[in-house]
Copies of this chain bind each other. A is one copy, B any other.
Amino acid sequence: MAITDIATRTYDHNWRLDPIVRSLLDTDFYKLLMLQMIRHLYPDVQATFSLINRTHTVRLAEVIDEGELRAQLDHARSLRFTKKELIWLAGNSFYGKRQMFSSDFIAWLADFRLPGYRLRAVDGQFELTFDGPWTHTTMWEIPALAIVNELRSRAALKDKGRFALDVLYARAKARLWEKVERLRRLPDLVISDFGTRRRHGFLWQRWCVEALKEGLGDRFIGTSNVLLAMDGDLEAIGTNAHELPMVLAALAETDEALRQAPYRVLEDWRAHYGGNLLIVLPDAFGTAAFLRDAPDWVADWTGFRPDSAPPVEAGERILAWWQAKGRDPREKLLIFSDGMDVDSIETTHRNFQGRVRMSFGWGTNLTNDFRGCDPDGQPGLEPISLVCKVTSANGRPAVKLSDNPAKATGDPAEIARYMRVFGNEGRISAHVDV
């Protein structure tokens, strides 16, 4: 005789919302590192973040119900850091360092909640905007992306039967495990999960992280997702993101101050975190300009995270620059994290093996690859290029150029000005899949 837990079943009858984001730690680790610095150095800056769907062909507002989206965003706004979470943030070591977060910052987090949002549907897309202090709006990036992406997955799966879902997830598991078996063959691989923002869903990301832990052992060094790091006793991985140079550039009063903004970010970061976490993100306004104008001390930093140029070209350029500065790349670190998948990880690993230390941040193609998995062959599960970017700071427009013009964001007139200041050297236009 089948035994059913009647209480659970009765609770399920009355199901109202299956929340996508259930913890403020369900975010990327770099958000917390940046937040601590922002609160310390830029507590009064106002910053607006906006959702940008670069995959115009997917009309999100026709796929996702606006009411459901509001319910999920409202639920995220109801969250607070729990005592357990704050104790873990305070007591855990990150990158081997104790007390990465000050007790003052931890106390401030205890009162933190996500600020309001503005949402409307225009021409089949959502305009989703977060206004307010940078110390608050910055924290919307990851939950907003995770919510929209998972609502899109749910919409694609809404009409599927139990059996089709079973086959779909069986195939996705088999597919990921094939990737794990290929990655196992790479000697000295160092890889981490960067897939929170573009994940198919929270539970699927958790499965993917378990798969890497089980399949890659020590070669899997951790996850950018703080909640999964805490629950799985994994390292939380990440340093900083484009929003820092973007905001500082937006605040620059002159072209010269604009040109210096990317280096000012590094000085701020070093002042705040000392000798730890010294990873340069060089491509906010173009890697070529960044390297050309960089002060010599930038070559003392631990490594670079090229994030928008093809990985081999980007890496070679940085290696040549280190060598020109008299540094030995074998003592340096490159972190590759832009749309990586097993093919590009293999190619990049082969190209640089023995020449530089390498680490891979595996994102969308880890946590949202359902190609060929739907037994009904329907569309809707392919990942889209969805981002949540800072679009203005203290009322001034924010811009990102990147090494790939297809990834540029911002006001066209401001983009033109940035192009004049930073130049167009070394940009390679490439289709942005994810």
A203 at the interface (CB under 8 A from B): no
Among B3, B169, B171, B181, the residue within 8 A (CB) of A7 is B3
A5 at the interface (CB under 8 A from B): yes
Q: Using a CB-CB cutoff of 8 Å, which residues 179-236 of chain A contact chain B? A: 181, 210-211, 214-215
Min Cβ gap A203→B in Å is: 13
Given the contacts A7-B3, A8-B3, A214 and B174 also touching, CB distance less than 8 Å = no
A316 and B177 CA atoms in complex are apart in Å by 44
Interchain CB contact under 8 A, B7 and A177: no
A212 and B392 CA atoms in complex are apart in Å by 56
A166 at the interface (CB under 8 A from B): yes
A175 and B173 CA atoms in complex are apart in Å by 12
Min Cβ gap A6→B in Å is: 9
A170 and B3 CA atoms in complex are apart in Å by 26
In the complex, which residue of chain B has the Cβ closest to the Cβ of A11? B3
**Which residues of chain B come closer than 8 Å to A215, judged between CB atoms?**
375
Among B5, B163, B171, B181, the residue within 8 A (CB) of A8 is B5
A210 and B171 CA atoms in complex are apart in Å by 17
Min Cβ gap A234→B in Å is: 15
A133 and B210 CA atoms in complex are apart in Å by 55
A169 and B5 CA atoms in complex are apart in Å by 26
Copies of this protein in the assembly total 2
A161 at the interface (CB under 8 A from B): yes
A257 at the interface (CB under 8 A from B): no
Interchain CB contact under 8 A, B177 and A167: yes
A3 and B211 CA atoms in complex are apart in Å by 25
Among B11, B171, B181, B210, the residue within 8 A (CB) of A177 is B171
Please, what's the 1-or-0 string for A1-40, where 1 marks a CB less than 8 Å from any CB in chain B? 0010101100100000000000000000000000000000
A5 and B11 CA atoms in complex are apart in Å by 13
Min Cβ gap A233→B in Å is: 15
Given the contacts A3-B5, A5-B5, A7-B3, A167 and B163 also touching, CB distance less than 8 Å = no
Interchain CB contact under 8 A, A211 and B174: no
A169 and B169 CA atoms in complex are apart in Å by 11
Min Cβ gap A205→B in Å is: 15
Interchain CB contact under 8 A, B167 and A173: yes
**Which residues of chain B come closer than 8 Å to A375, judged between CB atoms?**
177, 181, 215
A254 and B153 CA atoms in complex are apart in Å by 73
**Which residues of chain B come closer than 8 Å to A170, judged between CB atoms?**
169-171, 173-174, 177
Interchain CB contact under 8 A, B7 and A210: no
A29 and B94 CA atoms in complex are apart in Å by 63
Interchain CB contact under 8 A, B167 and A174: yes
**Which residues of chain B come closer than 8 Å to A169, judged between CB atoms?**
170
Min Cβ gap A275→B in Å is: 38
Interchain CB contact under 8 A, A166 and B173: yes
Min Cβ gap A29→B in Å is: 24
**Which residues of chain B come closer than 8 Å to A161, judged between CB atoms?**
214
A265 and B6 CA atoms in complex are apart in Å by 54
In the complex, which residue of chain B has the Cβ closest to the Cβ of A163? B214
**Which residues of chain B come closer than 8 Å to A7, judged between CB atoms?**
3
In the complex, which residue of chain B has the Cβ closest to the Cβ of A210? B163
In the complex, which residue of chain B has the Cβ closest to the Cβ of A178? B171
**Which residues of chain B come closer than 8 Å to A3, judged between CB atoms?**
5, 7-8, 11
Please, what's the 1-or-0 string for A234-273, where 1 marks a CB less than 8 Å from any CB in chain B? 0000000000000000000000000000000000000000
Most buried by B among A5, A7, A177, A210: A177
In the complex, which residue of chain B has the Cβ closest to the Cβ of A377? B181
Min Cβ gap A372→B in Å is: 10
A174 and B172 CA atoms in complex are apart in Å by 9
Among B8, B11, B174, the residue within 8 A (CB) of A174 is B174
**Which residues of chain B come closer than 8 Å to A211, judged between CB atoms?**
163, 167
In the complex, which residue of chain B has the Cβ closest to the Cβ of A373? B174
**Which residues of chain B come closer than 8 Å to A175, judged between CB atoms?**
174
Identify 5 residue pairs between A and B in the complex whose beta-carbon atoms are under 8 Å apart, listed by A's number. A5-B5, A164-B214, A167-B173, A167-B177, A170-B173
What 8 pairs across the A-B complex have the smallest Cβ distances? A170-B173, A5-B5, A174-B174, A170-B170, A171-B174, A163-B214, A167-B177, A170-B174
